[in-house]
Structure 1
Amino acid sequence: MNSTALREFIDLFPNGVILTDSNTIITYANDIAHNSFGYKEDELIGKPINVLIPKKLHRKHLLYTKSYAKCPVKMNMSNRTGLLGQRKDGSTFPVDVSLAPLENETKSLFIAIVRDLTNREYIKQLELKNKQLEQFTRIASHDLQEPLRTILSLTKMLDAQNNSSIDEHTKQVLQYIDESSIRMSVLIKALLDYSKLNSKKELIEIDSHEIVREVIQDLGKTINDVNAIVDYDKLPVIFGYKTEFRLLIQNLVSNGIKYTQKSTVPIIKIEYLSTNDYHVFTIKDNGIGIANENQERIFDVFVSLNDRTEYPGTGIGLAHCRKIIEMHEGTISVESKLGKGSCFTFKIKKLLE
C-alpha cells in the first residue's frame, strides 16, 4: 500500500491513529489523534512520539520501544493499567493503545491506535459515587432516622404527661427539641430523595403539556390560597424520565408561587422553544428575585437564601432540579433581579440514549 492510500485508509478509523518511523518520529497522525492530544492539523508530524507521553514515563517508554523494535508484533495494551497520554497543554488522560509493525514501500513504520478513555473513566467514577451514595442512603434511612424517632417519642411522652413539675422554660426547650427533630427528619428525607435520583430509570415519551396541567391541579389549593395565575404555551411531547420531569416542573412552579411578596399576586409563565438539539423551557415569575451573586449557589444542596420562618423549605429543591436536568443531558440557569422576579431556563436533550 502506497503512502497516500495508507493515509486515506487511516483517516477512516474512528480512533486516533499515529504512524512513526523506526526512530519513533511521527510521520502521520489522523485528525482524531490531533484533536485528542490538543494539536492543530499536521502539527504532530515530525515530532518524537514522546511528546504525547508524560515526562515521568519517558525513560520507561524508551526502554519499552527499544525492546519492541527488536521483536515488533501486533500488541493490544488494553490489559495494562495506568496508561496515560499527554496533551499539548500538559494535561494527561487515560488511553488504550494497540501497536503493530507496518511495512511500507521504502521503510519500516509502526502504527499506534490510541483510544481516549476519559469518558469511560468518568463513567467508572460516577458508578463508584453512586454506590457510595447508596451506602449513605442505607445509613441515613436507619442510623440517622432512628435516633430522631426516639427523641420525638420521648418529647411527646413528656408532653403527654402534663407534669406540673416541668416549668415553662423546660416546656419551651422540649418544644424546640421537638421542632428541630422534625426539621431534621424532613431534611434527611429530602436528602434521601435527592440520592435516589441516581437510580436507573426508564426513558419514555412524556406529554409535557399534560404534566404541567397535572402539576397545576395538584397545587390547586396553594394556587387558590394566593390567587396565583399560571399560564403556559402549548407544550411538546418529549423523551425523558417522567417522574423526574414532573418533580422538576412542580419544584419550579411551586417556588415561583412561594417566593413572592405577600401583597403580590403570583404570576407564573411557562414558555417553550425548540432548537435543533434541545427542548428549551422557561419558567418566569414575578417573585422576590435572587441577587446576582447567589444565582449559581441556589442549585447547591441545602442552600436557602431567605428567612425560613417566612419562606419554609429544605434548601434542596433546586439541587433536585439541576440533577434532573443533568439526567436529561441538559443545563439549567436563572436570570433574576431582586424584587423583579426570576426566569429559569432549562434545556433537555432531544436524542437521549
Structure 2
Amino acid sequence: MDYLRKEFYDSVKLNDTIFDFIQNSSLDGLMYWDLENPGNDWISDKFWDTLGYSPNEILNRPSSWRTTINPEDLKSVNKNLQKHYDDPSFPYDLTSRYKHQNGSTVRIRCRGLAIRDKDNKAIRMVVVCSESPKEKESSEKFRQLLEIAPDAMIIVNNDGRIVMANQQTVKIFGYSKEELLGNLVEMLMPGRSASHHHHLVGQFFKSPKTRGMGSGMKLFATKKDGSEFPVEISLSPLKTEDGMLVTAAIRDITEQKRSEEIRQISDRLTLATQAAKIGIWEYDIVNNLLQWDDKMFDLYGISKSSFSGAYGAWQKGLHPDDVERSEEEVRLAINNKKKFDTEFRIIWPDQSVRHIRASALVQRNDKGEPLRMVGTNWDITERKRSEEIARKMASLKSKSKEMEQFAYIASHDLKEPLLTIKNYAKLLVEDYGSELHGEASHFTTSIVKASTRMEELITGLLEYSMLGSNHRQLKEVDCCKTIESVLHDLGGLIKSNQALVKTENLPMIKAFPLEIKLLFQNLIQNAIKFKKEGIQPIIIIAVEKIDGGWKFKIEDNGIGIAKNHKDKIFTIFRRLHKQNKYEGSGIGLAHAKKIVELHNGEIWVESEPSSGSSFYFTILTELL
C-alpha cells in the first residue's frame, strides 16, 4: 500500500486543488512559518474564517495570529515552541484561546512539526489548527438560539460595539449584519438618548454594582431610514473568559403602544360621552365588522339582538338619499383623502327620520394601511328642526318685509308716474282736445315717458313678487353651462363694452335653474354697467366649497360702492345713481338677494369707491 501514499504525496505536490480540499475540509486552519526569517508566516484563509475575519482585514500584518491569541496563552505557546525546536522528540500540541472578531473567545488546538536542515536545526514550522469540538458545538448552539429568538438580539462588547446580531435585528432595523458588526450600538438609538446610553454602558462595565441594567425598559429606537419606533429592551450580562459582554433583547412594541393608546382613548371617550349621550363605535376594516356600545343602539332605535355587526347593518339603517354620500365619506377617510366628519339621516324601525352627526379617526399600521375606524355618533335631530324653524321664520320675516316694501311702493313711488299720466292726460283733454300740435306734442311725449317708466316699475315689482312663489324643484345645475348661457344672452352688452369675464372651474350645485341663471345675469350685468370710464371691464368669477354648499365671488374693477351704501343696494327700487347716468329700475340686486335667500344663503359686498366691488353669495342646499 506504500505506493498509494507515494502517489498521494506526488498528487498533492502537482495539484493545488487537492491540497486546498484537504486543508479546507479537515482543518480549521493551517500555518507555515519561516523560522530563519521570523515574521514571514503563511496562514490559510480557513484560520481567519474560524475567527470571523476576512483575509483582507489581516493583510500586511506579519505574525498577525499572535495578535489574536490570549496574552497569557501566548507565553505558553512560545515556551512549547522553543522546546520543540530544541528537541524533536518533544511534541508541539497545545490548545489556546483566541479572540473572535465579534469579541468572543474561541479555543483552538494547534499541533506543529518543525522541518529541519541536515544539521537538525529547525528552519520551517508546519502548524495545523482545529477548533475545540465542544467549543465549536457550544458556539454553534448559541448562534442558533440567537437566530430563532423572536426578538432582535445583539451582543455588545465593553467598547459599546456590536459583536453579534441575529436576523431579526436585520429585519427590524433595516441594517445588514455587515453594517451592524463593529459599530457602536448608539447607531440604533435616537440622537437625544445616545450619549446617556453610552454613559450607562460605561458604568455597566466599570462596576459590578451597576450591572443590573434591568429588563422591560421602554425606550425608543431608530431604524436605518431614520424613523423612530417604541421598543422594550432587556439587558443581561454575558461573562466570557475575555471579559464581560452585554446581551440585549429588543422587542418592537409599536402595535402594543397603539393598542394602549386606543384603550386610553376609549376610556376617555366613555367617560366624556356618558353625559353627552354620544355613541361610540369601532369598525374593523380588515374583517368588515362593526362594534357598537350601548348608546349606539339607542341612537339607531334597535336592539342588540337585531344587529348583525356587519358593515351592511349600518348601511341598512341609512336614509336612501344619504347612502351613496355617506359611503363615499367612509371611503375617502379610509383612503386618507379626507377627515371623516359628516352628517346623515337614519330611518328608525317606526319609519321616523333622525339626523346623525358622525366623526372618526382611521388607525393604520406602520405601512400606512388602514386597520380600523374609531368614532362617535350623536343625534342632531332637534338641532336640525330648530334650524328649519329658524329658516321658516326668517322666510316669513323676509316676506313680511316684502309686503311692507310693496305697500310703501304702491302708496308712494307708484303714485308719482301715475299722477303724471293723469295730469297730462287731463290737460291734453281740457285744453287741446283732438288737436295735437304745439305743446300737445310735448305733453304727449311726457305721457309716453311716464307710462314707460311706470311700466318698468310695475314689471320689476311683479317679477320680484313672483320669485319663489312657484313650486319648482331643486335640481343639479351645471354652473359652467349656466354662465355660458348668461354670457350668450349678454353678448351684445359684453361686446359693446369690450368686457372680459374670467371663470375658475365651477361646480355642479343643487339649485333652482332659472333663478340661479337670473342671479348670475344680474350680477354680471351690473359689473359691466357700473364700469369706469375708459377702462375695460374685467369680471372674475370664483368659488370655494363650504359646509353645506358653496361660496361664490364675483369681482369687478368698476366704480365701487361707498361704505354707507353697502346695505342699501339690496333694497328693492333703491338707486344710488341718477336715471340719466345709469339706466335701470333699481331692482336687480333685490332680485339677487331674494334668489340667494331662496337657496338658504346670504349675499354681501366688499367694496371701496373707485376700487371695484366683490359680491359674495352662498348657496346652501346640499343638506336639503
Structure-2-length-normalised TM-score? 0.34
Cα distance between partner residues in 2 of 1:233 and 1:226:
22
Give the direction of change, closer, same or farther, for the CA distance of 1:260–1:118 in structure 2 (3 Å limit).
closer
Cα distance between partner residues in 2 of 1:204 and 1:162:
58
Q: 1:242 aligns with which of 493, 496, 513?
A: 513
In the other structure, the counterpart of 1:333 is 604
Deviation at 1:227, TM superposition (A): 0.9
Name the aligned partner's letter for residue 195 of structure 1: S
Does 2:493 correspond to 1:219? no
In the other structure, the counterpart of 1:311 is 582
In the other structure, the counterpart of 1:289 is 560
Name the aligned partner's letter for residue 348 of structure 1: I
Name the aligned partner's letter for residue 223 of structure 1: I
Cα distance between partner residues in 2 of 1:177 and 1:274:
51
Deviations 1:263-320 (A, max 9, x none): 2211111111112333111111111110011011101111110121110111111011
Q: 1:163 aligns with which of 425, 436, 439?
A: 436
Give the direction of change, closer, same or farther, for the CA distance of 1:132–1:340 in structure 2 (3 Å limit).
closer
Name the aligned partner's letter for residue 179 of structure 1: K
Contact 2:511 2:599 in 1 (8 A): yes
After TM superposition, list the pairs within 5 Å mapping 1:21-32 onto structure 2: none
After TM superposition, list the pairs within 5 Å mapping 1:243-282 onto structure 2: 243-282=514-553
Deviation at 1:173, TM superposition (A): 3.5
Cα distance between partner residues in 2 of 1:216 and 1:235:
15
Deviation at 1:349, TM superposition (A): 1.1
Equivalent position SS for 1:213: helix
Give the direction of change, closer, same or farther, for the CA distance of 1:133–1:281 in structure 2 (3 Å limit).
closer
Deviations 1:75-120 (A, max 9, x none): xxxxxxxxxxxxxxxxxxxxxxxxxxxxxxxxxxxxxxx9998965
Deviations 1:37-94 (A, max 9, x none): xxxxxxxxxxxxxxxxxxxxxxxxxxxxxxxxxxxxxxxxxxxxxxxxxxxxxxxxxx
After TM superposition, list the pairs within 5 Å mapping 1:17-56 onto structure 2: none
Deviation at 1:343, TM superposition (A): 0.6
Give the direction of change, closer, same or farther, for the CA distance of 1:179–1:229 in structure 2 (3 Å limit).
same
Contact 2:603 2:615 in 1 (8 A): yes
Name the aligned partner's letter for residue 545 of structure 2: S
Contact 2:600 2:621 in 1 (8 A): no
Equivalent position SS for 2:551: strand
Deviation at 1:128, TM superposition (A): 9.7
Give the direction of change, closer, same or farther, for the CA distance of 1:259–1:347 in structure 2 (3 Å limit).
same
% identical equivalent positions = 36
Q: 2:499 aligns with which of 218, 221, 228?
A: 228
- Structure 2 gap segments, 5+ residues each: 1-273, 279-381
Equivalent position SS for 1:209: helix
Name the aligned partner's letter for residue 220 of structure 1: G
Q: Which has the higher contact order (CA 8 A, sep 6+)?
A: 1
Name the aligned partner's letter for residue 319 of structure 1: A
In the other structure, the counterpart of 2:466 is 196
Cα distance between partner residues in 1 of 2:522 and 2:558:
14
Name the aligned partner's letter for residue 188 of structure 1: I
Equivalent position SS for 1:180: helix
Does 2:585 correspond to 1:323? no
Structure-1-length-normalised TM-score? 0.57
Give the direction of change, closer, same or farther, for the CA distance of 1:217–1:173 in structure 2 (3 Å limit).
same
Name the aligned partner's letter for residue 601 of structure 2: G
In the other structure, the counterpart of 1:346 is 617
Equivalent position SS for 1:280: strand
Contact 1:130 1:198 in 2 (8 A): no
Cα distance between partner residues in 1 of 2:620 and 2:397:
25
Contact 1:328 1:352 in 2 (8 A): no
Name the aligned partner's letter for residue 208 of structure 1: C
Deviation at 1:261, TM superposition (A): 2.6
Name the aligned partner's letter for residue 584 of structure 2: G
Give the direction of change, closer, same or farther, for the CA distance of 1:267–1:121 in structure 2 (3 Å limit).
closer
Does 2:456 correspond to 1:186? yes
Deviation at 1:177, TM superposition (A): 2.7
Deviation at 1:179, TM superposition (A): 0.7
Cα distance between partner residues in 1 of 2:561 and 2:579:
15
Contact 1:207 1:238 in 2 (8 A): yes
Name the aligned partner's letter for residue 449 of structure 2: E
Give the direction of change, closer, same or farther, for the CA distance of 1:238–1:126 in structure 2 (3 Å limit).
closer
Give the direction of change, closer, same or farther, for the CA distance of 1:292–1:220 in structure 2 (3 Å limit).
same
Name the aligned partner's letter for residue 555 of structure 2: K
In the other structure, the counterpart of 1:205 is 476
Contact 2:604 2:617 in 1 (8 A): yes
Bigger CA radius of gyration: 2
Cα distance between partner residues in 2 of 1:230 and 1:292:
26
Contact 1:239 1:352 in 2 (8 A): no
Contact 2:457 2:585 in 1 (8 A): yes
Equivalent position SS for 2:487: helix
Deviation at 1:351, TM superposition (A): 1.4
In the other structure, the counterpart of 1:173 is 443
Equivalent position SS for 1:235: coil
Cα distance between partner residues in 2 of 1:121 and 1:279:
21
Cα distance between partner residues in 2 of 1:125 and 1:238:
23
Cα distance between partner residues in 2 of 1:121 and 1:269:
34
Contact 1:240 1:352 in 2 (8 A): no
Name the aligned partner's letter for residue 183 of structure 1: R
After TM superposition, list the pairs within 5 Å mapping 1:101-180 onto structure 2: 120=389, 123=392, 126=395, 163-164=436-437, 167-168=438-439, 170-180=440-450
Deviation at 1:245, TM superposition (A): 0.3
- Which segment drifts farther, 222-231 or 172-181? 172-181
Equivalent position SS for 1:318: helix
